[in-house]
C-alpha cells in the first residue's frame, strides 16, 4: 500500500520563523519560586461557599431573579440575616 504524502514526521519549521516572545507571552507563563509553582488568581477562602440543591416555589425564584444580577448573593444574605435573628451562629 502506498504511503500517504503527509504521513510520518512533521515538516521542519525554521527556528528563525518562530513567534516573537512578547510581554503578553511571559504574563501568561507559569511562575516558580524555586521548585514551587506559584498559583495565580484569587486566594482560597477560609470558608468557601458550598453548592447545594434547594427546591423553592416558582414564585419565589421568579421574584428573586426579577431583582436582577446578584440575586443569588442577595438570597444568601437574606438567609444569613434570618438565621442571625433566629439562631446564634
pLDDT in tens, the chain (89 residues): 666 666 677 777 788 888 888 998 888 888 888 988 887 788 889 999 999 999 999 999 999 999 999 999 999 999 999 999 987 65
Question: What does pTM read for this prediction?
Answer: 0.51
Give a yes or no: residue 10 inside a domain: no
Q: With respect to residue 6, please indicate whether it lies within any of the assigned structural domains.
A: no
Residue 9 inside a domain? The answer is no
Range of the domain at 53: 15-86
Is 48 contained in some domain? yes
Write the CA distances from 46 to 23, 43, 49, 56, 83, integer angstroms.
Answer: 34, 9, 10, 29, 20
Considering the domain boundaries, does residue 4 fall inside one? Answer: no
Q: What is the pLDDT of residue 2?
A: 65
* CA nearest neighbour of 40 among 50, 48, 24, 29: 29
8 lies in a domain? no
2 belongs to a structural domain: no
Give a yes or no: residue 5 inside a domain.
Answer: no
- Give CA–CA dist 75/63, Å, rounded: 11
- Domains contained in the chain, number: 1
* CA–CA dist 75, 60 (Å, integer): 10
Residue 41 DSSP SS3 = coil
Amino acid at each position: 500500500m502506498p504511503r500517504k504524502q503527509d504521513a510520518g514526521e512533521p515538516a521542519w519549521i525554521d527556528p528563525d520563523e518562530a513567534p516573537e516572545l512578547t510581554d503578553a507571552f511571559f504574563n501568561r507563563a507559569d511562575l516558580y519560586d524555586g521548585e514551587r509553582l506559584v498559583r495565580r488568581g484569587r486566594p482560597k477562602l477560609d470558608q468557601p461557599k458550598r453548592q447545594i440543591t434547594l427546591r423553592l416555589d416558582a414564585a419565589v425564584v421568579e421574584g428573586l431573579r426579577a431583582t436582577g444580577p446578584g440575586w443569588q448573593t442577595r438570597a444568601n444574605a437574606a438567609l444569613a440575616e434570618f438565621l442571625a435573628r433566629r439562631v446564634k451562629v
